[in-house]
Amino acid sequence: MPLVKTWQLTAGAAVAGLALSVAAVAAAGPWDSGQRKAERDAAASWGLTGGADHGGTARAGSLPQAAPSAPGVLGAVGPGVPRGQAAAGPADGLAARLRPLLADPALGTVRTASVVDTATGQVLYDSGAREAMTPASTVKIATAAAVLAALGPEHRIRTTVVPGATPGQVVLVGGGDPSLTAKKKSPAGSGGSLVALAADAAQALKAAGTDTVTLGYDDSLYTGPVRHPIGVNPNIAPVTALAADEGRPDDSTSGPVDRTDDPAGAAARAFRTLLAERGVKVTAEPVRAKAAAGAQPLAVTQSTPVAGLVERMLTNSDNDIAEALARQTALASGQPASFEGAEKAVTARLAGLGVDMTGSRFADGSGLNRADKVSAGLLTGLLAKAADPQHPELRPVLTGLPVAGFTGTLRARNAGTSPAAGLVRAKTGTLTGVNSLSGTVVDSTGRLLAFAFLTANSPGPEGAEKGLDKLAAAVAAAP
């Protein structure tokens, strides 16, 4: 089978993913395979044979006729430019479009920009692209690339139950799974399940003749402060190695909501209830306990694969997942699973990808910390790496980006009749006075372009977001 170019995969995903399964992706999110199925459908559609339901009129020995197509949801995508060839269309035209838009006062007093052709590496526009700025949540692109480089897209995080140090004790051991849920049906889709874990643990205990235990819980995998430097905030829970449903008290899966002060204890108490429902009595309140080194698990539950966690994080700008993935990067790199250890590990992993790290700092994984610093050039460099056929492990960085007008944090931006609707896929970033947007777009000639716009000192988020959306739409319309 011939090698499929990255621009073809991404362009096809943009069209097929939205034309064939907009509703599925919007409802379930790309981490639940909606986007991945759309990409597979797109790849299959490039063959000459028709679908199984459309070959009835074909003559014997001939190829079936293709099914008639419905009107396209998106504009046509051109043939693109093979990797290594010069990009079509002068960069001057794009610069002429972007300069006046970048001068919009609503974007604040400092604005930087980078636009790159991912197939050729050609810089199509550069305005302060090496200047390190506070990126807000666009730093999640860096977090995503680092954890995928460290662990790969298929890695899963384990939560286990092991025998305790005292007779009749079991210990719930957190591995840092941000998808762990205590609900019978997770509102966020696949992931680790305390319900399944309790069922398996109860079965193992009863098989050993035990129906009464004491319960300990071990959240010692992470070190350092559990509170993000911003303090108590509805945008993020305490960062612990054991938490269910991100410490959320309701069925929400994204967005701000007040969280429990003790996610590990809350998860252990939920697990105690689940054990009791399955015929195992827990005789006292759960207490912190250290699991014995090398203890063999009685039961195990596993997270969504890292690829799915990355996609969920990027689509919904999930801060809890971001901090968990930064710590998983630290663990995979031999660093302490703390804010400081994660910073060292993320920095090292990104440097290993060969991108320009000038002025960069990764004080956290989520972008809530204003001490974070990245350049527009670093962001487009990472997106180009994710599009490179030599780095298939980074592809979820692209597939997880929200789709303008359709999904996640871009659902209401560049929507409706905007020429960028469905074509722009980008990570948003917002702090007071800081607004950013970085992602990809297939332009009118079929090129996959990576862009990043970082701004500071904006007078308000609404005007800044509109200005950024205009810039992204201008890239989409590039000749």
Catalytic residues: 137, 140, 317
- Element of type H or E holding 216: strand 212-218
Q: Indicate the DSSP class of residue 163.
A: E
Burial of residue 466 (number of CB atoms within 10 Å: 0-12, 13-18, 19+):
middle
Joined tokens for residue 401: 């980006």
Measured CA to CA in angstroms, residue 214 lies from 165, 174, 263, 289 at distances of 11, 17, 19, 11
Q: Please tell me the distance from the alpha carbon of residue 404 to that of residue 418, in angstroms, as a whole number.
A: 9
CB count in 10 Å sphere of residue 308: 25
Question: What's phi and psi for 326, nearest 5 deg?
Answer: -65, -40
Q: Please tell me the distance from the alpha carbon of residue 366 to that of residue 225, in angstroms, as a whole number.
A: 16
Name the CA dihedral angle for 296, 301, 304, 306, rounded to a multiple of 10 degrees: -10
Strands 158-163 and 169-173: antiparallel
Measured CA to CA in angstroms, residue 358 lies from 426, 436, 452, 459 at distances of 23, 18, 16, 28
